[in-house]
Structure 1
Amino acid sequence: MLPLLTSAQIREADAYTIAHEPISSIDLMERASKVFVGWFINHFPDKKQAITVYCGTGNNGGDGLAIARMLTDHQYKSLNVRIARFSDKSTSDFDQNLERLQQKSVQLTEISNGGYFPEDNSAIIIDALLGTGLNKPLEDDYKRLVSFINDLKRIVVAVDIPTGFFADGEVPPDAVAIKSSLTITFQQPKINFLLPESGPYVDCLEVLNIGLNEKFIGLLNSPYHAVEEKDVRQMLKPRHRFSNKGTYGHALIVAGQAETMGAALLCSAGCAYAGAGLTTACIPQGGLIALNSYLPEIMAIVRNGAEQPRITWETFNVVGVGPGLGKDEMALALLTDILTNYKKSIVFDADALNLLSTHRSLWKCVPAGSILTPHMKEFDRLFGEHTNWWQRIQTGIQKAAEFSVNILLKNDYTIVITPAGKVYFNTSSNAAMASGGMGDVLTGIITSLLAQQYTPEEACIIGAYIHGKAGDELALPNRLNVVLPGQLAARIPATMAKLMA
């Protein structure tokens, strides 16, 4: 797993690398700037384009000065540097890089407190005003300058982090920050880049390794991690000879009403395609023909009116409940029956989550090791209103521990929160997957993995990744604008096979 660091931990990693590589802080800055410039010149090769580099007087500004010097060495002809001199303070690395840049033929302009901002006609702006240490919203001159840059509506490339945006913690809803076309960040993504609040400020993200000490980063024991493909490859268990359907478990999907059978079908398909040895769907009588037509491999337990179905609970390794189930009295009675009689892991989704949110007494019956798969609104119905995603993560950490459950909070970077307080960000998926029914397939996949004896934590991490990876394999090579859930479910076996190869 790739550790994700808070801004305080990033400073620790910098300091440790400087002390133990050893390398001076100015040389580490030089290395980071060189990596930035190497990427920049490959993607912005027109050396006649006008570029303005906006620098603060801290280390982020020092990066900007070094970048300007290196771009000059690479023969970029129309380069301007503007220094926001809004205080008397500056870092020694900034001062040293300023001396180095002054030896080059680069136009330098200083902007003072309360001063006007010179007209800027550059095609590209490089933002190196403030770095990751920001802990309060921008005020006064910095706020004015950021608004001025945003109003220019140019291509903006941010160095490490857009000025005004927080690397971690709560992002104010009215934050004034640089709206970057591209952010080139160092070593690993900042945690808040993986949350929806980053949307207006980070259009594209590129992560570049600058050689911080990775062993020390691991010792920082951050609870936050990004899931990489290599992690999922290591977790997946290939099938072996002499196994049979019993080897891979029996999953029960409790889902659907007459009007919402699609949810039950998609969830059951996700379960079967992800490899459960046997999948049974508990569905209304009216959905039986649809189930047999859609996937005859799925067995059925039929719900007939208000009468509760007779289920031999010990038959099943896992139960997934909720997609399209409804919130009426019959649905409540069925969920109550499950919670009363089934003590193994349960995967709760959709209407099962909504019933838990309105019938709080059911919580005492939720088995340890269960999995909740809410989207944002379902999460807030379960645990109270939140004004930002950082709050949701902190609440999720608390509630996962309190109820001994894993919480999979759906997002562009789906977040898995474990009872031990670990937080995993999924790194697969794309916008073409924003289609009704995707969550139903994901619930089926996770239920299937639990049936196959993966741990709840593994089922969440693997399930989210292969779900997103299948969507990537369908959408990206074919440039599809929309991927339908049924297509994705059928893709899962091929995606898993590639990862296990």
Structure 2
Amino acid sequence: MLPLLISSQVREADAWTIKNEPISSINLMERASKAFVGWFINHFPERNERVSVYCGTGNNGGDGLAIARMLHQHKYQHVSVKVIRFSERSTTDFDANLQRLQDCGINIITLNKGDAPPAEDSSIIIDALLGSGLNKPLEGDYKTLVDHLNGLEKTVVAVDVPTGFFADGEVPQDATVLHADLVITFQQAKINFLLPESKNYIACWESVNIGISEEYTHSLNSAYQYIEEKDIRKILKHRTRFSNKGTYGHALIIAGEARTMGAALLSSAGAAYAGAGLTTACIPGSGLTALNSYLPELMAIIRDGDTLPKIDWDKFSSIAFGPGLGTDEKALELFAYVLANYKKPMVIDADGLNLLANNSTLWQAIPAGSILTPHVKEFDRLFGTHTNWWARLQTAKQQAAERNLYIVLKNDYTITATPEGKLYFNSSSNAAMATGGMGDVLTGILASLLAQGYTPQQACIAGVYIHGKAGDELALPNRMNVVLPGKLAQQLPVTMAKLMA
């Protein structure tokens, strides 16, 4: 796992590296700037491009000055620098880099308080104004300058963090932020890059390694972690010789109504294709023909009328409850029946979550270690309305710990909250997967992994990643604009085999 650090921890890690590598602070700045420039010149190779670097007088501005000098050394012909002196203070490393830049003969314009922004003929603006230390919204001259720059419609590349954007914590809804086409950030993504508020300000981001001690960052025990492919390779278990269908468990999917059988089919397919030895769907009788036609490998328990189905609970290694089930009295009675009889961790999704939100007495019967898989609206129905995603993170962390559950909050970077107070951000998936039924497949995958003997945490981390990775393998190489859930389910065995190779 890659630790995601809050701003104070980033400063701690920098200080530890300076002291223990050891390296001077200005040489660490030089290394960071070199990493930035290395990425920049590979993606903006035209040396005749006009580049303007806007620098504050703190360490982010010091990075900008070093970047301008290095671009000049790499033969960029039209590099200019705007030093923004809205504060009388400057850091020692900024001052040192300013002197180095002056020795190169690069054109430097100084903008003081109250000055009108200078004319701008560059096509690329490098934003090195404020960086990650921001702790309040922009106002005054900084706000005026950022509003001006946003109006120029230039390509903006931000150094570490766009000016005005909070690296962590609540992002104000009306924040003034310099909109970045690209952020080249140091060491790892900032947590707020992975939350939906960032889409208004950041088109894309790339992280560059600047040599901060990984051993030290892991020792900080951050609550926020970023899942990498190597983590999934460690979790997944190879199928072995002399195993059989019983080795890989029996998943029961309780889902679907007459008009919503698609949810039952997709979640059941997700379970089967993700490797459950046996998969049974508990469905209305009207859906049996569809089930047999869609995937004959699936078995069925029929729900008819007002009679609860007879279920041999001991047969099932895992249960998923909710997709397409409805929220009427029959569904509520069925949910209570399941919770009264099944005490292993289960997966609760869709209408299961809606029933839970509307019937608070059900909470106490949910088995410890169960997995809830809400999208944002379901999350807010369960836990109350939130005005921002940072607040949702804190609620997810608190609720998972208090209720001894796993909460999979679905999003671009789907977040798993654990009873231990950790939040794991997924690194796979893409926008082509934004289509109805995709969450049903994920529910089946999670139930399948539980059936196969994975712990709930392993099932969440690996299941969410595999789901996204299968979508990536379908969408990205083939340039597909839409990936359908049924196709993704069929891709799962291929994706898992690659990860286990």
- Establish whether TM, by shorter chain, passes 0.5: yes
Q: What residue in structure 1 maps to residue 90 of structure 2?
A: 90
Instruction: Describe how 1:170-249 pairs up with structure 2 within 5 A.
Output: 170-249=170-249
Q: What residue in structure 2 maps to residue 159 of structure 1?
A: 159
Q: What residue in structure 2 maps to residue 437 of structure 1?
A: 437
| Deviation at residue 75 of structure 1 after TM alignment | 1.2
| 1:46 partner SS | coil
| 1:152 partner SS | coil
Q: Give the residue type in structure 1 aligned to 2:70.
A: M
Mapped partners of 2:43, 2:363: distance in 1? 53
Mapped partners of 2:194, 2:124: distance in 1? 25
Instruction: Describe how 1:111-150 pairs up with structure 2 within 5 A.
Output: 111-150=111-150
Q: Give the residue type in structure 1 aligned to 2:435.
A: S
| 1:117 partner SS | coil
| Cα RMSD for the two superposed structures | 0.6
Mapped partners of 2:403, 2:361: distance in 1? 13
Q: Give the residue type in structure 1 aligned to 2:157.
A: V
Q: Give the residue type in structure 2 aligned to 1:381.
A: R
Mapped partners of 2:98, 2:39: distance in 1? 23
Cα distance per residue 1:378-416 (max 9 Å; x no partner) = 000000000111100100111001110000000000000
Instruction: Describe how 1:449-488 pairs up with structure 2 within 5 A.
Output: 449-488=449-488
Instruction: Describe how 1:273-288 pairs up with structure 2 within 5 A.
Output: 273-288=273-288
Mapped partners of 2:433, 2:347: distance in 1? 22
Mapped partners of 1:174, 1:455: distance in 2? 42
Mapped partners of 2:277, 2:43: distance in 1? 48
| Deviation at residue 105 of structure 1 after TM alignment | 2.0
Mapped partners of 2:5, 2:329: distance in 1? 46
- Structure 2, unaligned runs of 5 or more: none
| 2:133 partner SS | coil
Q: What residue in structure 1 maps to residue 368 of structure 2?
A: 368
Cα distance per residue 1:178-229 (max 9 Å; x no partner) = 1100000000110111111111111111110000111111111101110000
2:347 aligned with 1:334, yes or no?
A: no
Q: What residue in structure 2 maps to residue 396 of structure 1?
A: 396
| Deviation at residue 348 of structure 1 after TM alignment | 0.3
| 1:96 partner SS | helix
| Deviation at residue 62 of structure 1 after TM alignment | 0.1
Mapped partners of 1:365, 1:114: distance in 2? 63
Number of equivalences:
501
| Deviation at residue 315 of structure 1 after TM alignment | 1.2
Q: Give the residue type in structure 2 aligned to 1:345.
A: P
Q: Give the residue type in structure 2 aligned to 1:157.
A: V
Q: What residue in structure 2 maps to residue 60 of structure 1?
A: 60
| 2:104 partner SS | coil
Q: Give the residue type in structure 2 aligned to 1:41.
A: I
Mapped partners of 1:35, 1:342: distance in 2? 54
Moved over 3 A (4+): none
Cα distance per residue 1:263-299 (max 9 Å; x no partner) = 0000000000000011000000100000000011110
Q: Give the residue type in structure 2 aligned to 1:252.
A: L
2:22 aligned with 1:19, yes or no?
A: no
Mapped partners of 2:315, 2:221: distance in 1? 40
| Deviation at residue 114 of structure 1 after TM alignment | 1.4
Structure 2 length normalisation: TM-score? 0.99
| Deviation at residue 41 of structure 1 after TM alignment | 1.0
Mapped partners of 1:309, 1:217: distance in 2? 52
Mapped partners of 1:316, 1:80: distance in 2? 67
Q: What residue in structure 2 maps to residue 290 of structure 1?
A: 290
Q: What residue in structure 1 maps to residue 417 of structure 2?
A: 417
Mapped partners of 2:317, 2:378: distance in 1? 26
Mapped partners of 1:121, 1:342: distance in 2? 68
Percent of aligned pairs with the same residue? 67
| Deviation at residue 38 of structure 1 after TM alignment | 1.1
Mapped partners of 1:45, 1:274: distance in 2? 44
| 1:158 partner SS | strand
Mapped partners of 1:310, 1:405: distance in 2? 27
Q: What residue in structure 2 maps to residue 101 of structure 1?
A: 101
Mapped partners of 1:204, 1:247: distance in 2? 43
| 1:170 partner SS | coil
Mapped partners of 2:218, 2:407: distance in 1? 24
| Deviation at residue 312 of structure 1 after TM alignment | 1.2
2:491 aligned with 1:491, yes or no?
A: yes
Mapped partners of 1:74, 1:367: distance in 2? 61
| 1:132 partner SS | helix
Mapped partners of 2:397, 2:417: distance in 1? 6
| Deviation at residue 77 of structure 1 after TM alignment | 1.1
Q: Give the residue type in structure 1 aligned to 2:63.
A: D
Mapped partners of 2:39, 2:293: distance in 1? 52
Q: What residue in structure 2 maps to residue 255 of structure 1?
A: 255
| 2:29 partner SS | helix
Mapped partners of 1:13, 1:51: distance in 2? 31
Mapped partners of 1:339, 1:115: distance in 2? 67
Q: Give the residue type in structure 1 aligned to 2:368.
A: A
Mapped partners of 1:372, 1:249: distance in 2? 21
Q: What residue in structure 1 maps to residue 380 of structure 2?
A: 380
| Deviation at residue 107 of structure 1 after TM alignment | 1.2
Q: Give the residue type in structure 2 aligned to 1:105.
A: G
Q: Give the residue type in structure 2 aligned to 1:207.
A: S
Mapped partners of 2:339, 2:39: distance in 1? 54
Q: What residue in structure 1 maps to residue 44 of structure 2?
A: 44
- Structure 1, unaligned runs of 5 or more: none
Q: Give the residue type in structure 2 aligned to 1:296.
A: P
| Deviation at residue 129 of structure 1 after TM alignment | 0.2
Cα distance per residue 1:128-166 (max 9 Å; x no partner) = 001111111111111111111111111100000101101
| 2:289 partner SS | helix
| 1:252 partner SS | strand
Mapped partners of 2:196, 2:154: distance in 1? 23
Q: What residue in structure 2 maps to residue 81 of structure 1?
A: 81
Mapped partners of 2:368, 2:46: distance in 1? 58
Q: Give the residue type in structure 2 aligned to 1:209.
A: N
| 2:131 partner SS | coil
